[in-house]
C-alpha cells in the first residue's frame, strides 16, 4: 500500500467519522473523531470472526502506519508551532514563573511519582516490572496534550490567567517530557552502570539548550524573511518551511525540536516582536492557515489514536492494571501542579483551586501513545501499551468532556 493510498484512506475516513460526529454526536471535533474511531475499531473486532477481510485490511493499514514517526517527526512540530502562534505572548510572559515550573519541575515530579507508585502497584498485582520501566512510563505519560480541551475551556469562559497557564505549560512540557523519556530510555538500554550523571547532564543541556537556541534562531529568521517582503502567500510558505525544515534540523542536531517549535511560534505570533514589518493582512492570512492546518492534522491524529485499539493486546490483567493506574496518574498530576501554584500564590494572586482544573484538564494524548510505541519489546512494552491506551482514552473522553463543567464551577478564579 503506497503512502498516497494511506493518506487518502485516512482523509476519507476522518471526513466520514467527522461528519457522523457533527451530525449525530455533536462532540468537540477531535474528541468526536476519536470516539467514532474507537466505535469503528470495536465493530471491526466484533465482526472479525464473521467477515475477516475488513479486519485484515484495517489492521494492515494501522500496522503500516508508524504512529511514533508520524507524530514525533511530523505532526508534533505543526501542533506546537500552531499553538504557540495563537498564544498571547504578553500574558504568557506575565505567567512565565509558574509555567516554567509546570513544564520542568512539574513534569519531573510527575514522572518520578508515577514511576514509584506504579512500581509498587505492579508488585501488588504480581507483575514483575523493573523500576526503570515504570520510570519510563512515568516520563511518557506526564506530558499533557491540550489539543482536545482548549476549545472546551474557551467555551467555559475561564479566566485568562488559567487559560494561559494550561496553554503555556502544554507548549513546553512536551519537550521536557520527551527529553526525560529519552534520558531514561538510554539508561534502560545501556544499563545504570554504563551511563553517568555527567552523560545525563550533557544530554539535557544538548537537547534543551540546543532547542532553545535553535528556536530563537528560527524565529528571527522567519521575522527577517517575512518582514522583507509583502506577499501573504509566500510568507505562509516561509512559516511552513521554518517549521518543517527547522524540526528536521533539530532532529539531525539532537536538539529538542518541540522546544524549538514552541519558541519559534511564540516569536512569529508575538505582536510586539514584528511591529510594523509584517502587515495585518499577512498576520490574518498566516493565522487562518495554521488554524486550518492544526484542525486537519489534529483530527487525523485522533483518528489514529482511536484506530490503535485494533493492535492493543487484550489481557484482563493488563486492562485491570490500566484502570487502577488512572488515579495514580491523576494524583501525581495534582501534586505536580500544586507546588508551582503554592509558590506563586501570593506574588501572582493565584488560586489553589486552579490545581483541580489543571489536574482534570491535563489531558494525555498522542505523545504518550507515540512514546510507548517506541519502547522495545523487552521494556514491558505490551503491558505499558495497554495501560497507556486506557489512560489516554479515559483522559480524552471522560476528562475532556467533563472539564468544561468543572471550569464553569470555578469560572471566576
> What pLDDT does 282 receive?
82
Percent of the chain with pLDDT over 70: 90
**Which residue would you say has higher pLDDT here, 20 or 311?**
20
Of 64, 85, 115, the one marking the end of a domain is: 64
Q: 15 with 104, same domain? A: no
Mean of pLDDT values over 198-219: 88
Please name the residue that has the C-alpha cell 511519582: 113
- pLDDT tens per residue, range 153-205: 666 666 777 778 888 888 888 888 888 998 889 888 876 556 677 777 887 88
Q: 49 with 99, same domain? A: no
Q: 45 with 75, same domain? A: no
Tell if the pTM clears 0.85, that is, is over it: yes
Q: 135 with 120, same domain? A: yes
Please name the residue that has the C-alpha cell 492493543: 312
Q: Is 60 exposed, middle or buried (0-12, 13-18, 19+ CB in 10 A)?
A: exposed
Mean of pLDDT values over 356-360: 89
Q: 283 with 220, same domain? A: yes
Of 64, 82, 98, the one marking the end of a domain is: 64
- pLDDT tens per residue, range 120-166: 999 999 998 999 999 999 999 999 886 666 666 666 666 777 778 88
pLDDT at 248 over 70: yes
Q: 109 with 20, same domain? A: no
Mean of pLDDT values over 379-407: 91
Total domains present in the chain: 2
Q: 276 with 171, same domain? A: yes
Domain, as residue range, for 308: 67-409
Residue 1's pLDDT band (cuts 50, 70, 90) = low
Q: 38 with 75, same domain? A: no
pLDDT at 42 over 70: yes
Q: 76 with 225, same domain? A: yes
Least confident of 54-58, 116-120, 207-211, 227-231: 54-58
Mean of pLDDT values over 24-39: 91
Q: 374 with 347, same domain? A: yes
- pLDDT tens per residue, range 10-29: 999 999 999 999 999 998 88
> What pLDDT does 351 receive?
67
Q: 381 with 246, same domain? A: yes
Mean of pLDDT values over 351-380: 88
Residue 269's pLDDT band (cuts 50, 70, 90) = confident
Q: What is the CATH number of the domain that holds 181?
A: 1.20.1530.20
- Up-side HSE of residue 28: CA atoms within 13 Å toward CB? 24
Q: 160 with 90, same domain? A: yes
Rounded distance between C-alpha atoms, residue 142 and residue 177, angstroms: 7
- pLDDT tens per residue, range 271-286: 665 555 677 788 888 9
Of 64, 99, 117, the one marking the end of a domain is: 64
**Which residue would you say has higher pLDDT here, 166 or 48?**
166
- pLDDT tens per residue, range 70-112: 999 889 999 999 989 988 888 888 888 888 888 899 999 999 9
> What pLDDT does 204 receive?
83
Amino acid at each position: 500500500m503506497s503512502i498516497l493510498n494511506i493518506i487518502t484512506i485516512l482523509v476519507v475516513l476522518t471526513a466520514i467519522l467527522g461528519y457522523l460526529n457533527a451530525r449525530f454526536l455533536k462532540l468537540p471535533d477531535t474528541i468526536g473523531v476519536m470516539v467514532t474511531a474507537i466505535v469503528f475499531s470495536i465493530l471491526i473486532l466484533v465482526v472479525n470472526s464473521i467477515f475477516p477481510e475488513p479486519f485484515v485490511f484495517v489492521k494492515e493499514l494501522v500496522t503500516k502506519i508508524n504512529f511514533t514517526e508520524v507524530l514525533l517527526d511530523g505532526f508534533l512540530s505543526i501542533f506546537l508551532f500552531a499553538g504557540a502562534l495563537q498564544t498571547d505572548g504578553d500574558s504568557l510572559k506575565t505567567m512565565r514563573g509558574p509555567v516554567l515550573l509546570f513544564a520542568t519541575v512539574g513534569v519531573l515530579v510527575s514522572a518520578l511519582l508515577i514511576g514509584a507508585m506504579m512500581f509498587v502497584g505492579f508488585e501488588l498485582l504480581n507483575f514483575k516490572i523493573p523500576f526503570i520501566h515504570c520510570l519510563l512510563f512515568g516520563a511518557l505519560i506526564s506530558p499533557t496534550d491540550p489539543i482536545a480541551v482548549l476549545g472546551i475551556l474557551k467555551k467555559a469562559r475561564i479566566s485568562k490567567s488559567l487559560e494561559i497557564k494550561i496553554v503555556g505549560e502544554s507548549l513546553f512540557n512536551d519537550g521536557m517530557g520527551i527529553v526525560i523519556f529519552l534520558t531514561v530510555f538510554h539508561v534502560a538500554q545501556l544499563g545504570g552502570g554504563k551511563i553517568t550523571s555527567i552523560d545525563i547532564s550533557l544530554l539535557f543541556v544538548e537537547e534543551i539548550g540546543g532547542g532553545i537556541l535553535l528556536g530563537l534562531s528560527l524565529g528571527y529568521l522567519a521575522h527577517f524573511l517575512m518582514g522583507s517582503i509583502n506577499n501573504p502567500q509566500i510568507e505562509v510558505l516561509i512559516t511552513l518551511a521554518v517549521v518543517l525544515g527547522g524540526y528536521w534540523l533539530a532532529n539531525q542536531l539532537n536538539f529538542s525540536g518541540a522546544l524549538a517549535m514552541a519558541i519559534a511560534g511564540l516569536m512569529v505570533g508575538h505582536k510586539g516582536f514584528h511591529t510594523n514589518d509584517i502587515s495585518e493582512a499577512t498576520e490574518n492570512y498566516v493565522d487562518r492557515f495554521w488554524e486550518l492546518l492544526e484542525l486537519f492534522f489534529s483530527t487525523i491524529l485522533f483518528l489514529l489514536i482511536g484506530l490503535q485499539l485494533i493492535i492493543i493486546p487484550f489481557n484482563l490483567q493488563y486492562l485491570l492494571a490500566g484502570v487502577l493506574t488512572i488515579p495514580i496518574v491523576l494524583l501525581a498530576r495534582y501534586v505536580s501542579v500544586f507546588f508551582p501554584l503554592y509558590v506563586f500564590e501570593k506574588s501572582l494572586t493565584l488560586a489553589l483551586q486552579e490545581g483541580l482544573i489543571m489536574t482534570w484538564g491535563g489531558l494525555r494524548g498522542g505523545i504518550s501513545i507515540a512514546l510507548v510505541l517506541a519502547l522495545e519489546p523487552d521494556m514491558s512494552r505490551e503491558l505499558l501499551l495497554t495501560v497507556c491506551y486506557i489512560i489516554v482514552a479515559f483522559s480524552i473522553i471522560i476528562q475532556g468532556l467533563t472539564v468544561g463543567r468543572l471550569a464553569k464551577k470555578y469560572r471566576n478564579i
